[in-house]
Amino acid sequence: MLNPELLAILACPACEERPPLELHGEYLVCHRCRRAYPIRDEIPALLVEEAVPLDEIEAGEKTPRA
């Protein structure tokens, strides 16, 4: 589980306006650009290259890599 204080300050690295991210299972989700950033060992991977399309997460096609 991510620390709520950390979650409160995290923002999407891909969006200029830096919208807040929402916890969605094992991902942090940006609804603005529809990217999902994996959380591995309680550490968010907030690199645009690591993000997966939110559509794939919602369809159950992706799970975070260990």
Q: Give the mean model confidence (pLDDT) for residues 3-27.
A: 93
Domains in the chain, number? 1
CATH number at residue 28: 2.20.25.10
**64 domain-assigned:** no
Q: How confident is the model at residue 29 (pLDDT cuts 50, 70, 90)?
A: very high
**65 domain-assigned:** no
pLDDT 10s digits, 41-65: 989 999 999 999 999 988 887 766 5
Q: How confident is the model at residue 66 (pLDDT cuts 50, 70, 90)?
A: very low
62 compared with 10, residue with greater pLDDT: 10
DSSP result, 21-55: PEEETTEEEETTTTEEEEEETTEE---GGG-EEHH
Full residue range of the structural domain in which residue 44 is found: 4-58
**12 domain-assigned:** yes
pLDDT 10s digits, 13-24: 999 999 999 999
